[in-house]
Amino acid sequence: MLTVFSEVVELTRDLVRIPSENPTGTEKEIAEFVFHWLKGTGAEVVMEEVAPGRNNVIAKLQGTEANGNLVYIAHMDTVPAGEGWSRDPFSGDIVDGKLYGRGSSDMKGGLAAGMVAFKRIAAMGVKPKKTFVLIASVDEEGPGMMGAVDAINRGWVTRESYVVAIEPSGLTIMPAHKGPMWFEVVTQGKMSHAGNPQFGVDAIHAMTEILVELKRAVGELPYDDELLGKPTVTLSKISGGVKTNIVPDKCVAEMDLRLIVPMTVEMAKSLVEQAIGVGTSKVPGSSASYQVLTIDRPPVRASLDSPLIIKLDKAINKVTGKNAEYKGLPAYTDASIIAARTGSQHCITFGPGNLAQAHSVDEYIPVEHLDGAVDILTEAAKELIY
């Protein structure tokens, strides 16, 4: 028997079936699909080039008020599918209430929910007071988040904008986001025979001391957020050495430092610099340098008094009959960079799917989340723009 799924479920499957891996592919094909689909809503729709072959897609319902707008933003790119899948990562298969595929949770399900919610509002045929904008962005998975930055630069989002990144939040409201800063640290030593290590300077040893000091310093910071917990540091990549019987003269490591409010990017850099100073001092003759691998991504926190949060909370209660839940997001989204760049206190994450499924093998999104997200996003938009 042929199973008939709702519009948002079928749209999610269509989007999953269009590969848009970053960095191994582009968003060109999916952007064209989204553009033509949104044109069918009767709204004003434009494509704006962010980089060669990479276009943001923006749909707009113009409001009567000049200041502020409601912005739903969802990225079209995904991380690469990788290996180890038990099914085709671009199949959009639905099994036991789960829709599988790369990007199903992060975040083509959210993109589809935003598109269908936008279509429902457009179909009402009533001119809103507040302008309603849907942005399908490129390069959210890239270190420069070029799509969101371009939208800021073109004025689609401002300090007064209400912004929802429709990322996988398990349909909970996420007003607080950690700020991920990525560093590359390089230690230099002196090569010698391992039989006479006293004639060399061990660069890996120096790196170890730096990491130990950085973990100690971060662990002793007095900051603790009720939604995000404490700041963290992770050594995520390391390489060094030439041969087992040679004292290594160089070591390269990449570290992920997650900040919480009120920490700043400059504080993060200072922590790394201090750790380098302490670590190299424990290995005489060693030296080290570092570079930041990302754009500045400070932690952000929306005001719980924001009308966006108040109205979204109300919409969740109306649609589900339950009180809204609040959590922190240990990652960064387009809403995060928008908040950081504009100073907005009205940028949050809310959407279908679970963060644990993001970037995973056999990624999936619960089908029931999709219909629920559309209903909530539609209701919230009505509350905010009319």
Give the separation between CA 166 and CA 185, rounded to whole angstroms: 34
pLDDT for 1 beyond 60: no
**Environment class of residue 280 by beta-carbon count within 10 Å: exposed (0-12), middle (13-18) or buried (19+)?**
buried
Question: Could you give the C-alpha distances from 251 to 57, 113, 191, 237, 324, in angstroms and in order?
Answer: 43, 46, 12, 11, 48
**Percent above pLDDT 90 for the chain:** 96
* Spatial contact of 331 and 178, defined as CB atoms under 8 Å apart: yes
DSSP annotation of 323 reads P
Instruction: Determine the average pLDDT of the residues in 154-160.
Output: 97
The per-residue pLDDT for range 176-207, each reduced to its tens digit, is: 999 999 999 999 999 999 999 999 999 999 99
Overall average pLDDT of the 45-50 stretch: 98
**Looking at per-residue confidence, does 172 or 68 come out higher?**
172
Q: Which CATH superfamily is domain 7-177+299-385 in?
A: Zn peptidases (3.40.630.10)
d(CA 301, CA 254): 26
Closest-CA residue to 133 (of 166, 179, 91, 102): 166
pTM of the model: 0.92
Confidence at residue 5, expressed as pLDDT on a 0 to 100 scale: 87
Average pLDDT over residues 4-18: 95
pLDDT at 108: 98
For the chain, give every residue range classified as CATH 3.30.70.360. Answer: 179-292
Rounded CA separation 286/30 (Å): 50
CA angle 310, 258, 225 (to 5 degrees): 45
pLDDT in tens, 109-127: 999 999 999 999 999 999 9
Q: Are strands 326-329 and 173-177 parallel, antiparallel or unpaired?
A: parallel
Residue 26 pLDDT class (50, 70, 90 cuts): confident
Which residues make up the CATH 3.40.630.10 domain(s) of the chain?
7-177+299-385
The amino acid sitting at 4 is V
Would you state the pLDDT for residue 351? 98
**Cα–Cα distance measured from residue 104 to residue 191, given in angstroms and rounded to the nearest whole number:** 49
**DSSP string computed for 9-29:** HHHHHHHHTS--BTTTS-SHH
Query: Token digits for 102?
Result: 């790369």
Is the distance from CB of 60 to CB of 133 less than 8 angstroms? yes
Q: 179-292, which class in CATH?
A: alpha beta
Mean pLDDT of 22-36: 94
302-314 pLDDT, tens digit per residue, is 999 999 999 999 9
How far is Cα 376 from Cα 17, in angstroms, rounded to an integer?
Answer: 25
